[in-house]
Structures are given as C-alpha cells and as structure tokens.
Amino acid sequence: MMTNLNFNYLGGESPHYEVDRIDVSAYGSELLFSSEDDFGRIVSNETNNFKTVSSSIVLGAMANGDLINLKPYVISEIVNFFLDLSSMEQIINLNEGFHFISTNVDPVNPDMTVVVQEILNDDLKYIRNSEGSIFHKIGPNWVNGIGDWIGTEGYLFKTTATGQFTISGELIAYNEPIDLVGGFQFVSYLPSDETDAVEAFSSIIGDDLIYVRNSAGSMLRKIGPNWINGIGSCIPTEGYLIKMLADATLTYPNGKKVKSITIISPEHFVFEGGNAADPIYTIYVEGLNIGDEVAAYDGHVLIGAIKINSQNIFDNDLPVFSTLNSGQGYTPGKQIILKLWDASSQSLIPIEYTMNNPYNDAYIEKVYPSEDGLYSIVNVSKSSIKRNDKIYVYPNPATDEINISSPNKICNIVIFNCVGQLIYQGNETKINISNFEDGIYIIHIKTDNVIETKKFTIQ
C-alpha cells in the first residue's frame, strides 16, 4: 500500500476490528493487523512511533482474538486509516535575515504563491531556489519566478522579521533519492528526526563532496584526512547548501544518531548574521579558553563572532560572511582583524595570531580571501602586550575604539592626525574612534610621572 509513513500508535477498539500489538523476534517490530495465519510484519516500533517497512501487505483483522472474515467495510476502514496517515502538516518557522528552508511534505497545491500565502507581507523580501530564480514582490504584485515548490529541494529565504507558515500535503519518504549536480544546490532534509550530519550525508561523503553548509555558515567538510562536522545534527525544516564536484544521488538513512554541538552566542560581540549562500571564510580558533569571545572585523564592520565552547579546535569554527543581513560583509584583500573578549579579565585585550597549515590546504594569508569555502587554523595569543612597556595602546591597528593602559594614573591624552590637527583631548582609557578617518595618528599620553608619544593606525 504505502511505505515510510510516520504515525503514532493510538490503539483502542472498533466495532469492526482491534489493533493488536504483537512482538516479532529481534527486529523490535510489531504487527499492526494480524490473524491466526500471522500476516507479515508491516511496521517497526521505535519508542511507540511506527514506520512501515513493506510496500505491499495482506490485510487482516481480529476481533477479541477470533479470526473474522474481511468484509468490504473492514478493508475500507483499514485503507482509510493508512490514507489518513499520509496527510500531514509541517510548521516552518522563519528567523529574521537569511535562512535555508526545507520540508518533507509535498504540498497539496505546490504553487509557490499558495504555499507561502501566510507570509505574503512586507517582511518577506524574497525566496530563491538553486537555479537563482526568485519569488518576490515587484510593485504591488508578487512575482513567482520559481513556479512550484518541490519537496526535495531547499530554498533560501530572506525576511526582515520572524514569521511562520504551514505546509500541508503528503509525507515524502525519508529515503526519497535526491539528484545532485556538480556545483551548488539547496537540498531538503527529509527525515522527521534529527540526525548527525556525517550520517545524514553518508551517501555522498567522498572525493566529490566539497562541503555541506547550514544557515549559520557552519560546514561539514574534509580537512586533511578527516571529515569535520561543524553542523552537528541536521534538523527538520532546515535546508542545506551542498557543493559537489560531480553529479551524485543523496539518500538519507533512517538513523537517529545525533551529534550535539552546544552553540553559545557571544555576549559582547553581537553579530547580526548573514547570507550563507554567498562566500563564507571559516576560521578555526585555537589557543583560547572556554568562554572567551572572538570576533572578525573588516574595518569597523563586525562580520562574524563566536564564543569558545570546546578545547577541540574544530568545534570552534568562526564563519566569516561576505554578505551580512544589512549588506556588505568582508571585502577580499582587506586585512583580517580579530578581536578578543577575555573571559577571565572581563575585558577587551590585545592579541597576536598566527596561521597554521598542518595539512597544506589551509589559507594562510592575513587578508580576506576572494574564493568561497576556504579555511584557516588560527592560533590566538594573549601576549601581545610587552611587559617592559609602561604605557600600552591597543588594538593597533584599530577600528572602532582604542584602549590605553598604564600602571600609573593617566592625567591627559591628546590625539593628532597625520597633518597635526587636534582630534581628541581627555583622560578616558577607552576612546571611541569610530568616527575617525582611516590613517596614522599620534597620541601623547601624560601620567603622573611620565609623558609618552606613540603611533597607532585606524583602518
């Protein structure tokens, strides 16, 4: 009749038949309908959630343990029971910004305008498919350049507020084959349960898979000889961006192995998010303590941030975005600027960093790359302040603020630009320079026993 249905066992009696629960050998399976002739297994019991495992069955029924004849009304009720199970609804939650979205339901009416009817308002900016076709509003009208919603495909949504819509239709089998092509594509995640990304994409893991990426910019990718799972577990309603070198077929397994990754959002570097469909550069951070926060900047612009959550370097991936929710992210060729919030001192402190290349495939330049999908392994050190200095100005180069530290009381600070104009005068140890132009500045610092002159750069 049907395969791969998901449903809950309710039990109970009917005037015409009773659903029996009969254990069958080591498979942990049960007969849904049975008789003295022991009709074949048709469902698999997994914590009271049943999945069909045969595509054709012989229908039988029991009443109070006695075999009864299969009359038309009995068959009709059983068939209707299964038909009801094939219809379901899936709620899709949307976040502000960019998000990969998918479903495991084939909509009753697949027309994209009908599917997303609930969210046709000014908060929806566009929906895009793998081919670049767009569903969006032009003037007063919604223009459907995509056509129909296809259940095995993922879609890129951009919204300016949170939202929600419901897809109603027929459940898609979790192992429905999905054809992939060489290049980029959004795909749907079909299983109804979370699954470790390595297991979920096991059918395509190999030399032809470049990466799988989620909406947060985290990736399943190969580094050296190992597949690194920055995604954790795949989640229903989340879509995924896959880059392939060649055509392949993705088939999800019926597994429930889950990899839990604790994502702790930074508190001091509040990142707005970005578009993971555009180029992403990943920095794997080592050398810091759990609770420290690291942020990447392009000039004054925050383009990615993480809180260190593990001593395993590959659990500390910092996706750096070329496109932010609000616009431009990093610019290729500009200097990579990293900032650190130190958890132990609860302060922004200067750092030094070095790039490592243990597998000879890492990106080691200290400017943002032009190519998508590159990664760096960065060792961050908190020792950039030299102990023999009496007065410290950091970070240098700086973007939006500088800090002045001295063992003595600071009485006065004066800053001049490169042509000698007075830009700042005061005695604050943290100075906002976000409105200063890029360039080289001279700073005079007077303490209660010394005056020092230093240079710093804003970029």
Query: Does the structure show a pLDDT above 50 at 63?
Result: no
- Per-residue confidence at 45, pLDDT binned at 50, 70, 90? very low
Domain ranges across the chain: 6-85, 90-250, 280-381, 392-458
DSSP letters spanning 385-443: S-TT-SSEEESSSBSSEEEEE-SS-EEEEEEE-TTS-EEEEE--SEEE-TTSPSEEEEE
For the chain, how long is the longest CA-to-CA vector?
Answer: 105
For residue 432 the two structure tokens come to 């906002």
Give the tokens for residue 250: 């993705």
Fold identical between 280-381 and 392-458? yes
Of 239-253, 361-375, 419-433, the one with minimum mean pLDDT is 419-433
CB 96 within 8 A of CB 160: yes
Helices and strands in the chain: count of H runs, count of E runs: 3, 41
Look at 296 and 22; give whichever has higher pLDDT.
296
Q: Answer whether residue 139 shows pLDDT above 60.
A: yes
Q: Does residue 208 surpass a pLDDT of 70?
A: yes
Q: Which of 55-64, 78-87, 160-169, 190-199 has the lowest mean pLDDT?
A: 55-64
pLDDT at 193 over 50: yes
**CATH architecture of the domain formed by 280-381:** Sandwich (2.60)
Q: Please give the pLDDT value at position 15.
A: 38
Q: Which two tokens stand for residue 231?
A: 């995604």
Give per-residue pLDDT as tens, 275-295: 999 999 999 999 999 999 999
Decide which of 177 and 55 is more confident.
177
pLDDT greater than 90 at residue 91: yes
pLDDT for 260 equals 64
pLDDT tens-digit profile of 410-452?
A: 899 999 998 888 999 998 989 999 899 999 999 989 887 777 8
CATH 2.60.40.3080 for domain 392-458: yes
Give the mean pLDDT of 40-64: 40
Does residue 276 contact residue 184 with C-beta atoms inside 8 Å? no
In percent, how much of the chain has pLDDT > 90? 61
pLDDT at 130 over 90: yes
- The confidence band for 88, taking pLDDT boundaries of 50, 70 and 90, is confident
pLDDT, greater one: 417 or 321 = 321
In this prediction, residues 178-205 reach a mean pLDDT of: 96
The pLDDT confidence band at residue 258, using thresholds 50, 70 and 90, is confident
For residue 113, the surrounding DSSP H or E stretch is helix 112-115
